[in-house]
């Protein structure tokens, strides 16, 4: 492929980061493979965009976050849903009227043979690797979580190579603002999937649906407001990062590295709750 396109190939992330023509890095690696690319970016003092979730090792993530802050490095995490007009409208309302409860999840069918996604030790499980977008959306609307408690369903999917994930997970979350949420993930719904989140405050209901996060907003005593999710959200998110690198203006970036750490820690806390059978404080 590189020969056909004329692309330059590097043996290591450090070789790439140290190339004179590189202005920024895009880091797209599985959760278990983080490390070399981030350290290469830091060593070369390069801005970087990093896909979610940003890792499995909380100590490592804290280390990178501290060094990013120390260097004043421009970063962005791939939580593209934050850039949707539907989400921005909901956040605008909920900054004035605190959210009380959310209910949502990410359901899909049984996975096939996958060398790392179905291995929980490598992916962190579906709730951490995939439903992280729903987790992050809840954080974006509610603020920080203070406690999580999780249950899992296991033993329903059978005969899948490399499969050590939970078949389904439900996670109760308590937020610092006093609000609560129940978020779910399932990779065992073969009759059809779903991606949704419902949120309510005292006078508003928000119903997000599908990958594009279409939203219907119902306000007490008013006609419903509907906002369709825009296509090409990855391009929108990427352009914000590229523009920030070019201009130095970071105001458009909605999830810098330190914020991505908080979303990762929330879903990793659900895994600790599954292991211990107890609530986990954040």
- Give the three-class secondary structure for 150: strand
User: What pairing do the DSSP bridges indicate for beta strands 48-50 and 25-27?
Assistant: parallel
The helices-and-strands tally (H runs, E runs) of the chain is: 10, 12
Q: CA torsion 256→260→263→267, rounded to 10°?
A: 170
DSSP letter string, 168-203: EEEEEEEETTS-EEEEEEES--TT--EEEEEEE-SS
Q: What is the pLDDT of residues 14-46, one digit of tens each?
A: 878 887 688 999 999 999 999 999 999 999 999
Cβ partners under 8 Å of residue 121, min gap 6: 32, 164
Spatial separation of the C-alpha atoms in residues 203 and 37, rounded to whole Å: 46
Residue 1 confidence (pLDDT) above 80: no
pTM above 0.85, yes or no: yes
- Give the three-class secondary structure for 64: helix
Nearest Cα neighbor of 169 from 204, 216, 134, 214 is 134
- Stated as kind and residue range, the H or E segment containing 25 is strand 25-27
Spatial separation of the C-alpha atoms in residues 187 and 189, rounded to whole Å: 6
Residue 2 confidence (pLDDT) above 80: no
Helices (H), 130-280: 132-142, 233-247, 257-276
Q: What is the pLDDT of residues 39-93, one digit of tens each?
A: 999 999 999 999 999 999 999 999 999 999 999 999 999 999 999 999 999 999 9
- Stated as kind and residue range, the H or E segment containing 41 is helix 36-43
Nearest Cα neighbor of 242 from 42, 77, 23, 69 is 23
Cβ partners under 8 Å of residue 211, min gap 6: 195, 229
User: What does the pLDDT read at residue 3?
Assistant: 62
- Give the three-class secondary structure for 141: helix
User: What does the pLDDT read at residue 11?
Assistant: 83
* Mean pLDDT of all residues belonging to the chain: 95
């Amino acid at each position: 492929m590189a020969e056909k396109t004329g692309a330059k190939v590097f043996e290591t992330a450090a070789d790439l980061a140290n190339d004179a023509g590189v202005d920024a890095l895009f880091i797209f690696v599985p959760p278990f493979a983080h490390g070399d690319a981030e350290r290469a970016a830091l060593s070369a003092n390069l801005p970087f965009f990093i896909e979610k979730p940003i890792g499995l090792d909380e100590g490592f993530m804290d280390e990178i976050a501290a060094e990013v802050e120390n260097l004043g490095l421009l970063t962005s995490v791939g939580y593209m849903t934050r850039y949707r007009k539907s989400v921005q409208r909901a956040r605008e309302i909920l900054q004035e009227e605190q959210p009380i409860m959310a209910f949502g999840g990410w359901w899909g069918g049984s996975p096939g043979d996958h060398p790392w996604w179905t291995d929980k030790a490598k992916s962190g499980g579906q709730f951490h690797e995939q439903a992280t977008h729903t987790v992050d959306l809840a954080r974006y609307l509610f603020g920080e979580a203070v406690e999580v408690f999780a249950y899992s369903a296991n033993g329903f999917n059978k005969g899948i190579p490399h499969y050590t994930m939970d078949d389904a997970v439900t996670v109760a979350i308590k937020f610092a603002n006093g609000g609560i949420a129940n978020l779910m993930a399932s990779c065992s719904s073969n009759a059809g999937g779903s991606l949704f989140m419902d949120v309510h405050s005292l006078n508003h209901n928000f119903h997000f649906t599908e990958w594009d996060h279409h939203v219907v907003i119902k306000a007490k005593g008013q006609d419903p407001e509907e906002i369709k999710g825009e296509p090409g959200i990855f391009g929108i998110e990427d352009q914000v990062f590229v523009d920030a690198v070019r201009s130095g203006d970071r105001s458009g970036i909605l999830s810098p590295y330190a914020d991505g750490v908080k979303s990762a820690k929330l879903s990793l806390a659900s895994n600790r709750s599954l292991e211990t059978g107890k609530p986990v404080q954040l």
